[in-house]
């Protein structure tokens, strides 16, 4: 398999964790989204019509969107399963994962921050306040979901799931942006636990071949 | 079952379509997000820790996040199935659905538009431009995905799936905001087809008990 990825993309980071947890070997095909390579005509026409990273290539099959890719990997390589089969546990995992993937991450990704700067001419302070506002609002929800269900060490028990796969890149981003996360102790405990796991460590941005310091 | 819903919420609209397609009866419990009822202490503590709509109540089980709810309904009431079991078709359905749910809708929902107005003091013109920018960028991706796979009359063939369930509320929103959708003929054809289906019609905002003209 091959993964079109950018080291600093949270959605690429999710898929890298999933691949590593499943022990799947892959080649990284770097797509520099800072330079707009995800919008290149060849990439959009032949790899990923969404014009985003990540994109997985598995034989003849090319697939974009991180959650779709992880669901695909869970069906083609079910062990270890990241989206549980138990109906209620599965629902809880998807609830937390989509809270992050739909309610937090989309507001703070590169294209949005650039739009704020270039089109709306916000100040650096306004950009930081925007970023922290959506992290705070979303992470409060994540923490409440964990208060209801979390027994540790992972979001939903003794095995990592898609919930951890989405939470870890989100927390890493928030820490990079100096967000105060002290109100989310359960989320932070999961994050600290995950960083010690070799699959999560292997997927970190600074371990990628396209890493730029 | 009961559904905490707001008539004009796209994510509630998705779940209403799914419930109607499956022929499931439910009571609507209106949550007026314009008035902030989704952030009320009782709702957050006892119904939906995400502090969002929709939220499904099925016996003792309470679940937020529209995609998680639809996956749950697909497991508890599999006919008709909205997230296909065939691996590649399923991946295509999830790819298009999450493109809408993660890359378009989150940028244009009520809380974001309000933040632009109240915190960033954007002009009405800037707010409209923001809305249309993300619709145009996202819908171009949706249309390209349909160009690759769509044979009609639905996004992926002869039966509606989660892709149609997410596309229809997105297009309805875009039309309400007077976005020019003429560049997306395949998407519009699916939308026009869906509106004739009784389940899609029953889920429309103006058919809901909490509708405000």
Question: How large is the ipTM?
Answer: 0.98
Which of B51, B101, B107 lies nearest to residue A107, judging by beta carbons? Answer: B107
Same domain, A154 and A190: yes
pLDDT confidence of B152, banded at 50, 70, 90? confident
Check if the beta carbon of residue A20 is closer than 8 Å to that of residue A199.
Answer: yes
CA dihedral (A44, B157, B106, B183) in degrees, to 10, reads: 60
Same domain, A122 and A98: yes
- Find where tokens 């071949």 sit: A209
SS3 string of B129-162? HHHHHHHHHHHHHHHHHHHHHCCCCECCECCCCH
Q: Across chain B, where does the E strand assignment appear?
A: 2-5, 27-30, 55-58, 61-64
Same domain, A133 and A61: no
**pLDDT digit string (tens) for B71-111?**
999 999 999 999 999 999 999 999 999 999 999 999 999 99
pLDDT of residue B149: 84
Measured distance CA(B114)–CA(B172) in Å, rounded:
20
Measured distance CA(B155)–CA(B101) in Å, rounded:
15
Pick the closest to residue A135 from A161, A115, A109, A162 (CA basis).
A109
Which of A50, A75, A112 lies nearest to residue B99, judging by beta carbons? Answer: A50
Same domain, A132 and A107: yes
Measured distance CA(B135)–CA(B107) in Å, rounded:
9
Which of A51, A87, A145 lies nearest to residue B141, judging by beta carbons? Answer: A51
**pLDDT digit string (tens) for B51-65?**
999 999 999 999 999
Measured distance CA(A149)–CA(B136) in Å, rounded:
39
Measured distance CA(A207)–CA(A17) in Å, rounded:
12
pLDDT along chain A (213 residues), means of 10: 98 98 98 96 96 97 98 98 98 98 96 97 97 97 92 93 98 96 97 98 97 94
C-alpha pair distances (Å), A143 with each of A41, A108, B54, B70:
41, 19, 19, 23
- Residue B204 domain-assigned (yes or no): no
Domain that holds residue B112: 87-199
Query: Which residues of chain A does B137 touch, with a Cβ-Cβ cutoff of 8 Å?
Result: 111
pLDDT of residue A149: 84
Q: Is A53 helix (H, G, I), strand (E, B) or coil?
A: coil
Same domain, A92 and A63: no
Q: Which residues contact A20 (CB under 8 A, 6 or more apart)?
A: A198, A199, A200, A202, A203
**pLDDT digit string (tens) for A157-211?**
999 999 999 999 999 999 999 999 999 999 999 999 999 999 999 999 999 999 9
Which of B50, B141, B145 lies nearest to residue A145, judging by beta carbons? Answer: B50
* Cβ pairs bridging A and B (under 8 Å): 138
Measured distance CA(B56)–CA(B62) in Å, rounded:
6
Number of domains in chain A: 2
Angle B118-B107-B1 from CA coordinates, rounded to 5°: 105
Same domain, A110 and A72: no
Q: Distance (Å) from the C-alpha of residue A196 to the closest C-alpha of chain B?
A: 28
CATH number, domain at A152? Answer: 1.20.1050.10
Measured distance CA(A26)–CA(A57) in Å, rounded:
9
Q: Would you call B140 an interface residue with chain A, using a CB distance cutoff of 8 Å?
A: yes
pLDDT of residue A151: 77
The answer to whether the CB atoms of A107 and B106 lie below 8 A apart is yes
Max distance between CA atoms of chain B, in angstroms, equals: 48
Pick the closest to residue A60 from B148, B20, B93 (CA basis).
B148
Same domain, A139 and A52: no
- Residue A76 domain-assigned (yes or no): yes
- Residue B37 domain-assigned (yes or no): yes
The answer to whether the CB atoms of B65 and A99 lie below 8 A apart is yes
Q: Distance (Å) from the C-alpha of residue B119 to the closest C-alpha of chain A?
A: 9
Same domain, A93 and A190: yes
The answer to whether the CB atoms of A115 and B101 lie below 8 A apart is no
Q: List strands edge to edge, sheet with A55-58.
A: A27-30, A2-5, A55-58, A61-64
C-alpha pair distances (Å), A169 with each of A210, B49, B126:
17, 21, 31
- Residue B46 domain-assigned (yes or no): yes
**Chain A residue closest to B97 (CA)?**
A68
Query: Which residues of chain B does A145 touch, with a Cβ-Cβ cutoff of 8 Å?
Result: 49-50
- Find where tokens 């080291």 sit: A7
Q: Across chain A, where does the E strand assignment appear?
A: 2-5, 27-30, 55-58, 61-64
- Find where tokens 């599965």 sit: A90
Same domain, B60 and B159: no
Question: How many residues does the structure list for chain A?
Answer: 213
Terminal alpha carbon distance of chain A: 27
Q: Which of A49, A80, A111 is the last residue of a domain?
A: A80
The answer to whether the CB atoms of B103 and A52 lie below 8 A apart is yes
**Chain A residue closest to B45 (CA)?**
A144
- Residue B212 domain-assigned (yes or no): no
Q: Which of B48, B80, B112 is the last residue of a domain?
A: B80
- Residue B91 domain-assigned (yes or no): yes
Q: Which of A80, A99, A127 is the last residue of a domain?
A: A80
- Residue B194 domain-assigned (yes or no): yes
pLDDT confidence of B199, banded at 50, 70, 90? very high
Q: Would you call B94 an interface residue with chain A, using a CB distance cutoff of 8 Å?
A: yes
C-alpha pair distances (Å), B20 with each of A53, A157, A185:
34, 34, 40
Give phi and psi for B55, each to the nearest 5. Answer: -140, 135
Same domain, A16 and A98: no
The answer to whether the CB atoms of A119 and B112 lie below 8 A apart is no
Q: Would you call A94 an interface residue with chain B, using a CB distance cutoff of 8 Å?
A: yes
Pick the closest to residue A100 from A31, A187, A185 (CA basis).
A187
CATH number, domain at B76? Answer: 3.40.30.10
- Residue B44 domain-assigned (yes or no): yes
Same domain, B27 and B71: yes
Average pLDDT, chain B: 97
Which of B65, B115, B126 lies nearest to residue A95, judging by beta carbons? Answer: B65
Same domain, A71 and A152: no
């Amino acid at each position: 398999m091959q993964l079109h990825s950018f080291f600093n993309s949270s959605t690429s980071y999710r898929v890298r964790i999933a691949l590593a947890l499943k022990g799947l070997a892959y080649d990284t095909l770097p797509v520099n989204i800072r330079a707009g390579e995800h919008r290149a005509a060849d990439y959009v026409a032949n790899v990923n019509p969404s014009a985003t990273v990540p994109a997985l290539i598995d034989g003849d099959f090319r697939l974009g969107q991180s959650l779709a890719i992880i669901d695909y990997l869970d069906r083609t390589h079910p062990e270890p399963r990241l989206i549980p089969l138990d109906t209620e546990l599965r629902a809880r995992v998807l609830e937390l994962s989509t809270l992050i993937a739909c309610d937090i991450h989309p507001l703070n990704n590169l294209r949005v921050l650039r739009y704020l700067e270039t089109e709306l001419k916000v100040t650096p302070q306004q950009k930081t306040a925007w970023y922290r506002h959506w992290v705070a609002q979303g992470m409060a929800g994540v923490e409440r979901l964990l208060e209801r269900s979390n027994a540790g060490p992972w979001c939903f028990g003794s095995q990592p799931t898609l919930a951890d796969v989405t939470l870890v890149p989100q927390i890493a981003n928030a820490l990079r942006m100096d967000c105060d996360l002290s109100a989310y102790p359960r989320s932070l405990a999961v994050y600290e636990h995950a960083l010690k796991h070799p699959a999560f460590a292997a997927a970190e941005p600074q371990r990628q071949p396209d890493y730029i310091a």
